[in-house]
Amino acid sequence: MMRQSQPRDRGIPEATVARLPLYLRALNGMAERGVATVSSEDLATAAGVNSAKLRKDLSHLGSYGTRGVGYDVEYLVYQISRELGLTQDWAVAIVGVGNLGRALANYGGFVSRGFRVAALLDADPEIVGDDIAGLNVEHIDELEAVIKRRGVSIVVLATPAAAAQELCDRVIAAGVTSILNFAPVVLSVPDTVDVRKVDLSIELQILAFHEQRKTDRMSGGPLMAVDSQ
Partner DNA sequence: AAGTGTGAATACGTTCACAGCA
Partner DNA sequence: TGCTGTGAACGTATTCACACTT
146-205 binders of a copy of itself (CB under 8 A): 153-154, 177-180, 184, 186, 188, 192, 194, 196, 198-205
Nearer to DNA, 17 or 161 (CB): 17
Check residue 211 for interaction with a copy of itself (CB under 8 A): yes
Instruction: List the beta bridge partners of residue 6.
Output: none
193/106 Cα distance (integer angstroms)? 26
Rg of the chain taking only CA atoms, in angstroms: 22
Check residue 92 for interaction with a copy of itself (CB under 8 A): yes
Contacting DNA within 32-71 (CB under 7 A): 38-41, 49-53, 55-56, 58-59, 63-71
Residue 18, classed as helix, strand or coil, is helix
Nearer to a copy of itself, 52 or 186 (CB): 186
Q: Are 108 and 102 in contact (CB under 8 A)?
A: no
Q: Which helix or strand (DSSP H or E) is residue 79 part of? A: helix 73-84
Please give the angle made by the CA atoms of 73, 28 and 66, to the nearest 5 degrees.
Answer: 15
Check residue 15 for interaction with DNA (CB under 7 A): yes
123/183 Cα distance (integer angstroms)? 16
Check residue 18 for interaction with a copy of itself (CB under 8 A): yes
Task: Write down the least CB distance from residue 25 to a copy of itself, Å.
Answer: 7
The footprint of DNA (CB under 7 A) covers 13-16, 38-41, 49-53, 55-56, 58-59, 63-71
List, as residue ranges, the binding site for NAD(+): 96-101
